[in-house]
Amino acid sequence: MSWIERIFGNKNKSEINKEISIHKNEIIQSNFNHIDESVIPKIEYIQLTTNWNADPVLPKIELKIDQTELIMDIYLNYYVFDNFKKGDKVKIRFKNCTLYSLNTCNDEGYYYGQYRTNPSELPWGEFYEIISGLDKNMPNPIEIIVNNNSEKKHFIFFFKDETFECLASDHELEFYNEKLNILHQNKIYRIFLDDKEIGISELEKADAPMGVVTGKLNFIDTKFGYGFLKEYCENNQIELAYDYPEVKMISTMSIPKLKITNNVGIEIKGVGNQISGMDNEEYQIEIFGIPYPFYEEEFPIHVAEYKSIFDKK
């Protein structure tokens, strides 16, 4: 039996995360009491590990360079995420990667202040895209692939015994098992409102016959929640499907200046869209009426899953 199973037993994800969070906060508080947080720039980020994460004990990081693409393979955390089994892995492709650092800062070192950020600003153990607030002065060893860092996104992934950072134009995820069967591929879609990026989504759910895709909307900042959406809709005369201010729950009608693009910048256009959700829970984005054949080209897995329903009959 693994040490995780001995420690946590049959506790669910929320119970495990609560115990870990208490311990982490105790360490952070003891090591950063002397720092004036008012002079530390706030780190804005997008958390990319939403329904998956690396194995917390032995991710067994493998890195490979294919021209300007950096490819990372790691084992997945099947202890916490029931959608994965022992031996399942993820392949992360960092597109047009210019440089990366896989350094020896582990979880204990990070919470004892041995990295260049306050852990309370950027919690350990997740995969992030940094929007602002964290410099790109990565620790050694640094591997340079191409000497061109302009307009590159900044990614950081915290593992148990190592920390990974890189600069790349984007990333893609491919989940697979030990038999090399692809479990699913996650594309990351970027969400813009009035040309300002507000979040990302994997658009992981679908109603293929109707040309509909839906996904969890991960805002890049907590300010893009109930208050922001309600004020925007009021200022731009956009109707609300429902609004419950007492619990900060909202659902918009179609927002004309809401723009969703794929990893190469192509806009996902339909006849309308909708954002629904509530603070302290989650938000969903929906795009409906996406025409074929574009729908099938952009969302082949959704179409294949729909067709497989009839193949099984």
pLDDT in tens, 257-277: 999 999 788 999 999 999 999
Q: What is the pLDDT of residue 310?
A: 73
CA–CA distance, 45 with 205 (Å, rounded to integer): 24
How does residue 2 score in pLDDT terms, banded at 50, 70 and 90?
very low
Question: For residue 306, what are the contacts with CB-CB under 8 A and spacing of at least 6?
Answer: 206, 208, 209
User: Can you tell me which residue has the tokens 């692939």?
Assistant: 145
Comparing 66-80, 169-183, 190-204, the range with the smallest average pLDDT is: 169-183
CA–CA distance, 285 with 200 (Å, rounded to integer): 10
Q: What is the pLDDT of residue 28?
A: 45
Comparing 73-77, 205-209, 305-309, the range with the smallest average pLDDT is: 305-309
Domain boundaries, the chain: 3-183, 187-309
How does residue 51 score in pLDDT terms, banded at 50, 70 and 90?
confident
Cα torsion angle, 116, 120, 126, 129, sign: negative
Enter the DSSP assignment of 254: -
Compare 254 and 179 and report the one with higher pLDDT.
254
Comparing 109-123, 173-187, 223-237, 292-306, the range with the smallest average pLDDT is: 173-187
Residue pair 273/191 in contact by the 8 Å Cβ criterion: no
Comparing 33-42, 257-266, 301-310, the range with the smallest average pLDDT is: 33-42
Compare 135 and 148 and report the one with higher pLDDT.
135
